[in-house]
Structure 1
């Protein structure tokens, strides 16, 4: 089992998380860019080594009624992985999560703040604007060229 200090160092290594000290020596880490009301990624990391990571949308983990995964016995790699997945789950809208499922995907943004999602689905590259399919391409290069022509850059 990792110590409190080791778990703390891992959580602090994610620059997108903000540390929040709470009662009894416990520490939370918030993801302020969350697209949902949920902000806690690491919750009640305790000096005894216990703690939780938000995993409501992570089907590969057992969660409690609050959507939290107990990380008491996690290894360093397991803890880094679940924190990364938790942040990613909180950075997607429900619509985006429904579109990309387990497919590789990239976000592309333009100067006006619009976002498109490029998803590799079944040997094709699809561009989505929200839930709407914007284009389908045979290769990543074709899709990237289209996105560049439309004024989008990888986010």
Structure 2
């Protein structure tokens, strides 16, 4: 496990991130150039070694309800890779072809319907039709968004995460 100083050194090596000291000796890192309302890339990096990196728009990570990954046991390379992918995912402004990062579904590609589930086992379906992103509750439309990023942020904020089935 990397110690607090090692994790800070990795995060401080990204010139686009701004360090923000918070309570209890913890440190956050913000990405002010984010094309989303989400600005916090690293959350509560703690002297005890704990900390979280935002991966809400990425696939293949064990996320908490807010879209963060606990990086307590991550290697330096794993943290660097995750931070780079997170920055890229938040750099996509929804224009076609903007995101070329692996693990992030691009908006100009075909998008199958994706089921999202919350803690009460309720499900919503995210799908694309033409240039809009639809969230369905059963056969009824719950919300419509202009970008995939907005739709996913809404789902995360409502406590849903992608079904692993």
Confirm or deny a common fold (TM above 0.5).
Answer: yes
In structure 1, what is the equivalent of residue 60 of structure 2? 60
Matches within 5 A, 1:71-150: 71-96=71-96, 100=100, 102=102
Higher-helix-fraction structure = 1
Output the CA distance in 1 between the equivalents of 2:101 and 2:5. 34
Give yes or no for contact 2:17–2:32 (8 Å, CA) kept in 1: yes
Distance 1:96 1:21, change over 3 A: farther
The runs of 5 or more residues in structure 2 that have no matched partner are: 109-130, 132-165
Q: Normalising by structure 2, what TM-score?
A: 0.59
Give the aligned CA root-mean-square deviation in angstroms: 2.3
Output the CA distance in 2 between the equivalents of 1:6 and 1:101. 26
Output the CA distance in 2 between the equivalents of 1:88 and 1:99. 7
Output the CA distance in 2 between the equivalents of 1:97 and 1:57. 16
In structure 1, what is the equivalent of residue 28 of structure 2? 28
Distance 1:5 1:101, change over 3 A: closer
Deviation at 1:100, TM superposition (A): 4.9
Secondary structure of residue in 2 paired with 1:65? coil
Matches within 5 A, 1:36-47: 36-47=36-47
In structure 2, what is the equivalent of residue 70 of structure 1? 70
Write the deviation string for residues 121-152 of structure 1: whole angstroms up to 9, x where unpaired: xxxxxxxxxx7xxxxxxxxxxxxxxxxxxxxx
Output the CA distance in 2 between the equivalents of 1:72 and 1:102. 23
The structure number with the bigger radius of gyration is: 1
Write the deviation string for residues 96-137 of structure 1: whole angstroms up to 9, x where unpaired: 47975749xxxxxxxxxxxxxxx9xxxxxxxxxxx7xxxxxx
Output the CA distance in 2 between the equivalents of 1:30 and 1:18. 5
Q: Normalising by structure 1, what TM-score?
A: 0.62
